[in-house]
Amino acid sequence: MMNQIALQPVDLMIEARWVVPVEPHAMVLEDHAVVVQGERIIALLPIAEAHAVYAPRERVELCEHALIPGLVNAHTHNPMTLLRGLADDLPLMVWLQQHIWPAEAKVIGPEFVRDGVELAVAEMLRGGTTCANENYFFPDVIGATYRKLGFRAVVGLPVIEFPTAWAKSQDEYFERAGEVHDSFRGDALISTAFAPHAPYTVSDESFERIRVLADQLDIPVHLHTHETAHEVEEEKKKSGLRPFQRLQKLGLVNDRLIAVHMTQLTDGEIAACAEAGVSVVHCPESNLKLASGFCPAEKLRQAGVNVALGTDGCASNNDLDMFGEMRTAALLAKAVAADASAFDAAYALRAATLNGAKAMGLEAKIGSIEVGKQADLTAIRLSDLETQPLFHVVSQLIYASSRHQVSDVWIAGRRKLAERVLVGMDTDAILARTRAWRERIIAG
């Protein structure tokens, strides 16, 4: 009698019609299984071979789906989800100074931040996003909310040169930043970055403190910069330098810098970003809606700059739809570069996954489907009328798919969306709180 080979017990096996691992670049694997033990991917292999080796406690069959890494939203202001649509069709500074900042001043606080983040997490999970690079006040509450919901995030430590509900002085911003960083030290899902608002709202002294502390704490610096032509011209009048030159002078142009928007760049600045290892976060839909300008995404890509994608906040976008951002980024880059081959579909997916992870210092953990990485995974059903016939999986994901085709999501091996249903989140309660905030904001 032949001895049977004992199968290796594992927690989870996800069997997909297509697996798009992102690394190697542009690869599509047919009829493959991703095997998960605890939080990590331990195998990626053909389904038939997986059946011969592993005995999963849970098996998920995705016969009409593509399985991709969880999407990474590399620039968000997620509490501002509660301000969605409040002040549309306005230029950036009018929108910000005359509408958003006054509205925030009336309602901002721990409860507003908590409820806004919870609404955002629900939306992001239903859209296949598993990680966000957060930039807002009350980072202690933001981080605690993400932690409670089991969502991966890099939480920004805000610095700005005027008093807010979070801090009243420069010293207080830095003191509280240190406290929040320490509170999440070693957390499995939550890490931190400095989040100075922008060159026009942060002093040289604060930037110098940030540079020193970011080096000491080994964390990124997440910064809006070169968002509009107006911003660049105002800085030139004030200091005689372009904002990027000022950041170079202050020692902030390095591989810790996450430079957001970057619509106004010279060829020399693009080359400097590539040489220094700067990551640029392209927010195409927000930039278009606020008429901020066009990020030269294809020039940055060709120069070797790490280009990631972000939605920006719902107050200026007005959604957290990374499928929309990938499609818009790819189409816009072609028009800006006058080149139909620019920012191709495979690169758009990479920008929304592994490049975002790299910008945030998380590329060793997430951003691709590789053995040893965390099991942050998103499944997209491709059998819908809108995505048929199917010739090229990655092209279909970028140019034809929508977030409404996302069926299942895992973060660190834990299922967060199951056949379009959120796991462990009370959608009725989220909606009720959101409607209550609407009434409060309207009432002023």
- State the pLDDT at residue 364: 98
What gap in Å lies between CA 377 and CA 60, rounded to an integer?
A: 12
Residue at token pair 């806004």: 116
* 3-class secondary structure, 322: helix
pTM for the model: 0.97
Report the DSSP pairing between strands 257-261 and 221-225: parallel
Residue 89: which residues within 8 A CB-CB, separation 6 or more? none
The domain made up of 8-69+369-412 has a fold known as Urease, subunit C; domain 1 (2.30.40)
- State the pLDDT at residue 411: 99
Of 54-58, 137-141, 439-443, least confident by mean pLDDT is 439-443
Across residues 30-34, what is the average pLDDT? 98
What gap in Å lies between CA 350 and CA 406, rounded to an integer?
A: 18
Residue ranges per domain, the chain?
Answer: 8-69+369-412, 71-359
User: Exposed e or buried b for every residue in 368-392, given b needs 16+ CB within 10 A?
Assistant: bbbeebbbbbbbbbbeeeebeeeee
Across residues 137-144, what is the average pLDDT? 98
pLDDT classification of 404: cutoffs 50, 70, 90: very high
User: Model confidence over 319-367: pLDDT tens digits?
Assistant: 999 999 999 999 999 999 999 999 999 999 999 999 999 999 999 999 9
Q: 26: burial class by Cβ within 10 Å (0-12, 13-18, 19+)?
A: middle
* 3-class secondary structure, 130: strand
What gap in Å lies between CA 317 and CA 320, rounded to an integer?
A: 8
Closest CA to 343 of 390, 391, 282, 387: 282
- State the pLDDT at residue 4: 64
- State the pLDDT at residue 2: 45
- State the pLDDT at residue 93: 87
pLDDT classification of 190: cutoffs 50, 70, 90: very high
Across residues 229-251, what is the average pLDDT? 97
pLDDT classification of 1: cutoffs 50, 70, 90: very low
Q: Which CATH class is domain 71-359?
A: alpha beta
Whether 8-69+369-412 shares its CATH topology with 71-359 is answered no
What gap in Å lies between CA 340 and CA 255, rounded to an integer?
A: 30
User: Model confidence over 371-388: pLDDT tens digits?
Assistant: 999 999 999 999 999 999
Residue type, 298: E
